[in-house]
């Protein structure tokens, strides 16, 4: 789709308003098309803004941003349906993982800094504008002191991450002439794992072989989006193992009808995409069940 204004007379305010109104009504068509794009190769909306008059440039750039925004919102809604891929698009690479309290760099794929400064660079998270940099910088107050924009590449660094920083990020770059450049990617922010501990939560103080069951609980002091892995000595314990149950997302291990081969030692490993940790080992001591043998004497 191309929007040409080169050589055309400057549009009046009412004409720009009418064109924007047309764009808004067109989003329904974009949405129906978007439903057909799921599972197919990513498609891009191409909006050309090669303009001469200043008035045309301002209006056209606004429409480019609006069309790109509407298109990517529709594309994002359908690419993140259940089973949809998580990937970057355009100027940005694949999904990024960050750690609470640390920094992350949204690096664009532009090969090198430009000799001519961009006309506009704008970043947003979901529907929240982060920064728009043109003649001057307009920064959202909640991001003051937390961002650093490299105007020559459009890259953005975000400092002191919080869990609320997770989400979709979009960049819009308008060069001095030619096509606008856009990109999007998803940031996932996690809390680091710390202090992994195993606790025996069984009701039985002295478990008996062949008749007692034991429950072990794995916990952490801090961490988010956790994955659990249990080992008995050097062997991994899984839900498919005989006489074993894994509950509460894998954080609780229950051993049914304990035997001497279930002594351990047991270790719990906890991880997320940015960190991991392991507990100290715990060994079980099941007692042999007494059969109360009877001694028979013969005279």
The answer to whether residue 6 is domain-embedded is yes
Specify whether 132 is located in the same domain as 177.
Answer: yes
pLDDT the model gives residue 100: 97
Q: Read off the pLDDT band of 229 (50, 70, 90).
A: very high
Domain's final residue, options 190, 208, 242: 190
Domain carrying residue 137: 86-190
For the segment 77-92, what is each residue's pLDDT rounded down to a tens digit?
A: 433 333 333 444 588 8
Give which of 266, 274, 260 is closest to 218, Cα–Cα: 266
Read off the CATH number of the domain in which 240 is found.
Answer: 2.60.40.10
The mean pLDDT value for 229-244 works out to 88
Report pLDDT digits (tens) over 118-142: 999 999 999 999 999 998 999 999 9
Q: Are residues 40 and 62 in the same domain?
A: yes
Residue-level pLDDT at 205: 66
Asked whether residue 4 is assigned to any structural domain, the reply reads yes
**Tokens 């809604």 identify what position?**
77
Same domain, 53 and 100: no
Q: How many Cβ atoms sit within 10 Å of the Cβ of residue 189?
A: 23
What's the number of CA atoms in the CB half-sphere (13 Å) around residue 237?
27
Query: Domain tally for the chain?
Result: 3
- Whether 97 and 183 map to the same domain: the answer is yes
Residue 246 lies in a domain: yes
Count CB neighbours of 134 within 10 A.
14
CA distance 181 to 150: 15
Query: What angle is formed at CA 15 by the lines to CA 10 and CA 18, rounded to 5 degrees?
Result: 150
- CA-nearest of 222, 228, 165 to 191 is 222
48 with 95, same domain: the answer is no
Residue 93 lies in a domain: yes
Instruction: For the chain, give the mean pLDDT.
Output: 74
Residue 144, exposed/middle/buried by CB under 10 A (0-12, 13-18, 19+)?
exposed
Residue 28 lies in a domain: yes
Looking at the fold, whether 185 and 116 belong to one and the same domain comes out as yes
Same domain, 159 and 95: yes
Report the pLDDT value the prediction gives residue 206, as an integer from 0 to 100.
67
Of 16-30, 37-51, 246-260, 269-283, the one with minimum mean pLDDT is 37-51
Residue 23 near residue 82, CB atoms below 8 Å = no
- Asked if 219 and 197 count as a contact pair (C-beta separation under 8 A), the reply is yes
Q: How far apart are CA 189 and CA 125, in angstroms?
A: 13
Q: Are 138 and 94 contained in the same domain?
A: yes
Q: Which of 42-46, 155-159, 267-271, 272-276 has the lowest mean pLDDT?
A: 42-46
Q: What confidence tens digit (pLDDT) does each residue in 199-227 have?
A: 998 876 666 766 788 999 999 999 999 99
**Is the pLDDT at 12 greater than 90, yes or no?**
no
Q: Are residues 125 and 149 in the same domain?
A: yes
For residue 4, is pLDDT > 70?
Answer: no
Same domain, 175 and 135: yes
Q: Looking at 51, 83, 115, which one is the last position of a domain?
A: 83
Residue 12: inside a domain: yes
Q: Clarify whether residues 8 and 59 are in a common domain.
A: yes
Last residue of a domain, one of 145, 162, 190: 190
DSSP-assigned beta bridge partners for residue 235: 232
Assess whether 78 and 18 both reside in one domain.
yes
pLDDT of residue 260: 82
* 63-97 per-residue burial string, b: 16 or more CB within 10 A, e: under 16: bbbbbbbbbbbbbbebbeeeeeeeebbbbbeeebe
Residue-level pLDDT at 257: 85
Question: Cα–Cα distance between 8 and 11 in angstroms, integer?
Answer: 8
pLDDT: is 113 or 39 the higher one?
Answer: 113
Using the predicted structure, report yes or no on whether residue 60 has a pLDDT greater than 80.
no
Residue 295 lies in a domain: no
Q: What is the largest CA-CA distance in the chain?
A: 127
Note the pLDDT tens digit of each residue in 249-273.
999 999 988 888 888 899 999 999 9
């Amino acid at each position: 789709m191309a929007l040409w204004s080169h050589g055309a007379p400057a549009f009046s305010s009412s004409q720009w308003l009418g064109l924007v109104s047309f764009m808004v009504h067109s989003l329904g068509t974009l949405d129906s098309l978007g439903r057909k794009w799921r599972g197919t190769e990513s498609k891009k909306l191409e909006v050309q803004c090669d303009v001469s008059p200043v008035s045309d440039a301002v209006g056209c750039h606004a429409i480019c941003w609006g069309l790109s925004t509407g298109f990517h919102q529709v594309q994002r809604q359908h690419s993140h349906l259940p089973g949809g891929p998580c990937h970057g698009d355009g100027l940005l690479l694949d999904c990024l993982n960050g750690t609470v309290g640390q920094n992350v760099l949204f690096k664009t794929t532009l090969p090198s800094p430009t000799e001519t400064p961009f006309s506009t660079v704008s970043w947003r998270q979901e529907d929240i504008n982060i920064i728009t940099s043109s003649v001057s910088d307009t920064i959202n107050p909640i991001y003051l002191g937390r961002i650093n924009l490299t105007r020559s590449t459009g890259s953005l660094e975000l400092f002191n991450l919080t869990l609320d920083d997770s989400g979709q990020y979009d960049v819009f770059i308008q060069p001095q002439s030619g096509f606008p450049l856009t990109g999007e990617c998803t940031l996932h922010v996690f809390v680091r794992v710390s202090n992994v501990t195993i606790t025996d939560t069984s009701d039985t103080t002295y478990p008996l072989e062949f008749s007692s069951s034991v429950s072990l609980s794995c916990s952490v002091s801090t961490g988010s989006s956790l994955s659990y892995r249990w080992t008995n000595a050097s062997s991994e314990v899984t839900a498919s193992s005989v006489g074993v149950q894994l509950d509460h997302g894998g954080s609780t291990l229950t051993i049914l009808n304990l035997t001497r081969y279930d002594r351990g030692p047991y270790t719990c490993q906890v991880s997320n995409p940015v960190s991991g940790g392991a507990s100290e080992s715990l060994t079980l001591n099941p007692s042999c069940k007494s059969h109360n043998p009877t001694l028979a004497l013969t005279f």
